[in-house]
Amino acid sequence: MKINVVFNNDIKGFEKVLSDVERTLSKNGVEFESFELLEMKNFGDFTIAIGGDGTLLNSARFYSASSVPVFGINIGRLGFLSQSSSEGTEELVRNVIEGKYVQEERLMLQAGEELALNDFVIKGCNPARTSKFFLEINGKCVCDYIADGLIISTPTGSTAYGLSAGGPVIYPTLDAITIVPICPHTLNARPLVVPATEVISVKTPDGFLSVSPDGLEAVQVQDICIKASDKKAKLAFIQKEGFYTVLRNKLHWGISPRPS
């Protein structure tokens, strides 16, 4: 077994976790190489990503090309995807070495050469005002939006920006795409869930679209075509708590407010 160790040196506290991971791998005779997030390479057949969900998203996109599973150790804030915390790092790494983990394949979206495991966020060329967006699916006009933007998300991304914009929660292993308008200037615009086989196009008469995949730096384009990628992200989990348990623990789903 060869392991890639990816770390985000912008997150406070990464040094100790990285040191614990490397020491445990060395002690167990496992070959590994460590890479800073922006310098990832193809070395191993498994990846440990140390950081937050952003670190895992970047790692999962990069290693999807070689079908390498990615396991996240969360030292960020929410850690919805990186479900294992930095506590008990040595035991976590031993479980990886012994193969005591489960894998899930996750749908990714593609627009040109860009991949997204969470979502593509589309906004107008002037972020200070609403814009008009023309939505087409499989080349057919679906609707026009006057809104701050659109979120085209995977089921994995349904609990990210799309959720805060009023979109539905989608079970992460389903093959579906969600289209969520951001602050639409109408009372009848609703999120739309379509099969992953659909091809989604967005245009605007207002100039250019500003497009950001997975929260990365936005680029300006005249229009965009988004579809399911042939590549799948592979996520690894040590303890498979189940999606509904994660919703409850991380997002406090269905938990009644405590009396004051």
pLDDT digits (tens, 9 = 90+) for 209-222: 999 999 999 999 99
Say if residues 196 and 171 touch (Cβ distance below 8 Å). no
Q: What is the DSSP string of 12-28?
A: TTHHHHHHHHHHHHHHT
Query: What's the rounded mean pLDDT across residues 232-243?
Result: 84
Domains in the chain: boundaries: 2-101+238-251, 110-229
CATH code of the domain occupying 2-101+238-251: 3.40.50.10330
Q: How confident is the model at residue 200 (pLDDT cuts 50, 70, 90)?
A: very high
Distance set, CA 9 to CA 18, 38, 146, 226 (Å): 10, 10, 40, 32
Is pLDDT above 90 for 31? yes
The model's pTM is: 0.90
What pLDDT, on a 0 to 100 scale, did the predictor assign at position 65? 95
Q: What is the CA radius of gyration of the chain?
A: 19
Q: Beta strands of the chain (E only): which ranges?
A: 2-7, 31-36, 46-51, 70-74, 84-85, 102-111, 114-116, 119-124, 131-137, 140-147, 149-153, 176-182, 192-195, 200-203, 209-213, 219-221, 223-237
Best CATH choice for the domain 110-229 from the list 3.90.550.10, 2.130.10.10, 3.60.15.10, 2.60.200.30:
2.60.200.30
* Residue 53 identity: D
Distance set, CA 86 to CA 14, 16, 61, 140 (Å): 9, 9, 22, 48
What pLDDT, on a 0 to 100 scale, did the predictor assign at position 82? 67
Is pLDDT above 60 for 260? no
Instruction: Supply 138's token pair.
Output: 């499989």
2-101+238-251 and 110-229, same CATH topology:
no
Q: What percent of the chain has pLDDT over 70?
A: 92
What pLDDT, on a 0 to 100 scale, did the predictor assign at position 244? 78
Computed over every residue of the chain, the mean pLDDT equals 91
Residues labelled catalytic: 53
Q: Render pLDDT for 151-164 as a digit per residue (tens, 0 to 9).
A: 999 999 999 999 99
Q: Render pLDDT for 81-119 as a digit per residue (tens, 0 to 9).
A: 766 666 678 999 999 999 999 999 999 999 999 999 999
What pLDDT, on a 0 to 100 scale, did the predictor assign at position 148? 95
